[in-house]
Amino acid sequence: MLAGCLLGVGLGLADELPRSPASDPPAPGVVRAPLPANEVKGLPLATVFYDLRGKAGITGGDERARLEIEKAFGIRAGASYDPQVTAVGLMRVRKLDFVRKADFTIYESSRPGHLVMALSVTLGPRDEETGPRGVLSGRSGDFPLLHQDERSMVRLLLNGGIGFFSDGNPWFGNAAAFTGPSPIALDPANGDSATWFETSIEYGLGGVVQVGEGNLWAYGAASFLSSFSTGQDLFRSDTRSLTEIEDAYLGFVWHPSASPWVVNASVGRQNWQLNDGFLFSQFAAAANAGPIPGLYLNPRTAYDMTALLKVQRENFSLEAFFLDPNEIDFLESDTIYAGLNAAFTLPQAWEGSVAYYEVLESKTTFPAGVAGTVPREGLQTANLRLATTRLFGADGLELTGEVAHQTHRDVDWDAWAWYGRVGYTFRDLPWTPNLSYRYASFSGDDPTTRTYERFDAPLSSGLDTWVQGVNVRKVAANSNLDTHRIRLNLAPTPKLSLTFDYFWLMANEPAGAPRRIAQEIDLGVRWSIRPNLFLLGVAGIAFPDDNLRRRAGTDLDSWTTVQASLFWNF
């Protein structure tokens, strides 16, 4: 899986030294593209891979050194990737007497929506003469690192993207049928095509510092995000720009050197995601439509407010979360979520989690047939997830399943959502293809009963996971929806991956309407041009079916899209 890590990506000096037998063995023949670390913050880690070079020269040898490095790093599979928390782990590793250098790289995982973190460590006596690094120490080549020593790190946050987008027959050629009285559709695309340009830039500071001489570290970030759009997009044709605060959070990591416990607490505007985004995705945490430019770049991913507390002991963690999504001001629903997530990983490549959350506040209500209306406030959701990358002990054979059940503290609510995904990586074939099939079901409401059965998942998203068809997603959200997805992923080079998706979408509860909604075929291209330059290309075509034609009251055209986005980060 990490051949790129072993073919020159990483530390330079480490590549000149032999690999330690305490390193993780790479999966033969499997390559994954390196990703821009600042563009994937908040996504879960499928694997933390240790690549050790040289010899530690301590009692107990490299095996003991590996255990000490793992304990100091404190980041394990299942955790969400956070640059500042990772910096805390790296600084702790670099303090070890037998570590000369340490760094990390983020890679694609074979599991959609997940990451692989490769920690590269050069073993040997510490270089005591290295001294502070960063631009403020006269080392301009360290940009965007401003300052780093054994106790602190401050860096400039400078990330952005530009994108060109062109849709053919947007809204299947009938915008009025699908945008209707939408308050953000001031001038919806209603012709043969819509073409527009978007750009965004995030700029600010992030850093960590050791508090006193003990085991407490503080971290945080503050940034602004400016976005710009011109041309006819799906909702508007006016040129507009907007600058707002993006990140503004403060956190603390408590990690005693001789203890397996790690406590991480943070509060403020930041990214957060639950697993692969089935229920909570960072890409649905903030609005990027209408008056907020960036519809397809989706640059804003920070919640308006969060409070997170995570307690971890080796392969087990318990996290409490409080979430207030960042909605469009004049459409603010005042929805607030709070819950718990208990997760575990096993050495045999199994992992799982149990989560529960409630909607503490919300002004949103839903039509419920004979029951009238039901409120979102009071909604309760229980969730169970289980996954493995070594089903029946076979490397590369993957199975993931998840189920969620919703009830309500005040009304009769009984809704379900679940999915199962099976996949296999053909490691002996050229381009190491990964082929997978997923069936997913989000229940709909039967209007003839007093029980409300529609599953509510407004923050379910993610282009690589729960955006089920880049075009159909605009008219069929993850509720009252059954889908088949067949995916083929290819890796022609360690820096390039190709993803082919086929979706077949149907209504779970048609309520007298036709069940078949649409079919869609998508192609995704991900190219890591350089460590700080990443290209995302998307092409898709959606074919409307009887359900959409009935909604429109007329025949519809196929909806095509071509997208090219270039992301850069420092």
Instruction: List pLDDT tens digits, range 400-411.
Output: 999 999 999 999
Which structure tokens are listed for 208? Answer: 């960590």
pLDDT of residue 29 exceeding 80, the answer is no
Which pLDDT band holds residue 335 (cuts at 50, 70, 90)?
very high
Distance CA 278, CA 284 (A): 11
422 contacts: CB under 8 Å, gap ≥ 6: 391, 397, 398, 399, 436, 437, 438
Which residues neighbour 289 within 8 Å (Cβ) at sequence distance 6 or greater?
Answer: 184, 235, 295, 328
Q: How many residues does the chain have?
A: 570
**What was the pLDDT predicted at 13?**
37
Decide the pairing of beta strands 145-148 and 533-544.
unpaired
pLDDT, residue 512, reads 86
More confident residue, 376 or 191: 376
* Euclidean distance between CA atoms 381 and 360, whole angstroms: 12
Contact 299, 288 (CB under 8 A): yes
pLDDT single digits (tens) 52-66: 998 888 888 889 999
Q: Closest Cα to residue 119, out of 91, 161, 143?
A: 91
How far does Cα 264 stand from its chain's mean position?
19
Q: Give the 3-state secondary structure of residue 50.
A: strand
Task: Kindly state the DSSP code that residue 355 receives in the 8-state scheme.
Answer: E
**Which residue do the tokens 């063995």 mark?**
25
Distance from CA of residue 529 to its chain's centroid?
Answer: 21
- How sure is the predictor about 125, in pLDDT bands with cuts at 50, 70 and 90? confident
Q: At what angle do helices 61-73 and 83-94 cross, to 10 degrees?
A: 140
Q: Residue 236's CB: how many other CB atoms inside 10 A?
A: 22
What pLDDT band is residue 14 in, cutting at 50, 70 and 90?
very low
What DSSP element (H or E) covers 89?
A: helix 83-94
SS3 assignment, position 551:
helix
Is the C-alpha dihedral spanning 29, 32, 85, 463 positive or negative?
A: negative
Report the sign of the C-alpha dihedral through residues 131, 134, 135, 139, in that order. Answer: positive
pLDDT in tens, 274-319: 999 999 999 999 999 999 999 999 999 999 999 999 999 888 999 9
Closest to 209 (Cα-Cα) out of 88, 355, 46: 88
* pLDDT at 31 (0 to 100): 63
Can you count the helices (H) and strands (E) in the chain?
A: 5, 24
Query: Which position has the token pair 């469009």?
Result: 328
What is the rounded CA–CA span in Å between residue 1 and residue 397? 13
CA torsion angle for 73, 78, 82, 87 (degrees, to 10)? 10
Q: What per-residue confidence (pLDDT) applies to 348?
A: 67
What average pLDDT does the structure give for the chain?
90
Integer Cα distance of 418 and 440 in angstroms: 6
Does the pLDDT value for residue 395 go beyond 60? yes
- Token code pair at residue 324: 């207030």
For residues 430-437, average pLDDT: 94
Nearest by Cα to 414 from 369, 392, 444, 435:
444
Assess contact for 135 and 126: CB atoms under 8 A. Answer: no
Residue 319 is encoded by which pair of tokens? 């996290």
Instruction: Please state the φ and ψ torsions of residue 71, each to the nearest 5 degrees.
Output: -65, -40
CA 296, 298, 304, 309: dihedral to nearest 10 degrees? 140
Q: What is the pLDDT of residue 107?
A: 86
Strands 336-345 and 99-108: unpaired
Q: Residue 16, CB half-sphere, CA atoms under 13 Å: how many?
A: 3
pLDDT band at 127 (very low <50, low <70, confident <90, very high): low
On the 0-12 / 13-18 / 19+ scale of CB atoms within 10 A, 197 is middle
pLDDT at 28: 66
**pLDDT of 2 higher than 90:** no
Token representation of residue 402: 């998840």
Is the per-residue pLDDT at 461 higher than 80?
Answer: yes
pLDDT band of residue 569 (cuts 50, 70, 90) is confident
> Based on C-alpha coordinates, what's the Rg of the chain?
24
Question: What is the C-alpha to C-alpha distance for residues 317 and 35, in angstroms, rounded to an integer?
Answer: 26
Which is nearest to 178 in space by CA: 138, 233, 220, 234? 234
State both tokens at 302.
């920070």
Measured torsion, CA atoms of residues 492, 497, 498, 501, in degrees rounded to the nearest 10? 140
Average pLDDT, stretch 532-538? 93
pLDDT of 18? 87
3-state secondary structure of 317: strand
What's the pTM? 0.90
Structure tokens belonging to residue 77: 């599979």
97 pLDDT more than 90: no
d(CA 29, CA 430): 9
Task: Answer for the pair 50, 65: CB distance below 8 angstroms, yes or no.
Answer: no
Residue pLDDT, tens place only, 499-521: 999 999 999 999 889 999 999 99
Q: Does residue 383 contact residue 404 with C-beta atoms inside 8 Å?
A: yes
